[in-house]
Structure 1
Amino acid sequence: MDNKVNFETWLHNKTTVVAGFLGSALLSFAIWVFSQVYGQSVKHLESIDNKFDMLTKDIIAIKLQDSANTITINTLKNDVLDLKTVNKEVLGRLGSLEKSSAQHEQQLRQLSK
């Protein structure tokens, strides 16, 4: 299950990075074409391109953090399940010890009579 989650996270991260890169490259290409054809407002469009790049990087950072949080949550869930299993075993052993302790006390009482 961990491998599947790790692979899905890796794939999600890589897809996000590639999509962000392609989107940024496409916008840069469109700005270049526009500047070649019209030669106007290039600085304004470059500003938009820079803002788009920053936004893309922010989105990627958020998605990476979300993926890391998902992995952490899944790890914690597995740890809780392990602790519940161990707790059940410990409670079973404690019950056995209490029974044997009660039996020993009863045997001691019978011997002391």
Structure 2
Amino acid sequence: MLATTFAALGDGTRLAVVTRLSRGEATMGELAAPHQVSLPAMTKHVGVLVDAGLVSRRKVGRTVVCALRPEAFAEVQTWLGDLTAYWNTTIDRLEDLLRGSDDEH
């Protein structure tokens, strides 16, 4: 799932869509407007995000409304937390090593 999420977010337009939806729901037209893409092109972009489980869409009359699925980002958040913990530990060990090296001189 993590690879699917990053693949979906690997496109600049789709990343911008997710960023926009983080501020609230939007119609397909509202999502397409800043990118100067056709509605069919935006539908394909949103479809990739829907298939990755990051976005939901629903019809309200003839309008398609899209929303972010924040729970879908839990795996990314966990992965980033683990990576951050790893790097913090690694940097702390390096600092300890460098401090020990200074003490010897």
| TM-score range normalised by the length of the shorter chain | 0.3 to 0.5
Q: Which structure dedicates a bigger proportion of its chain to helix?
A: 1
TM-score by length of 1: 0.36
Q: Which structure dedicates a bigger proportion of its chain to strand?
A: 2
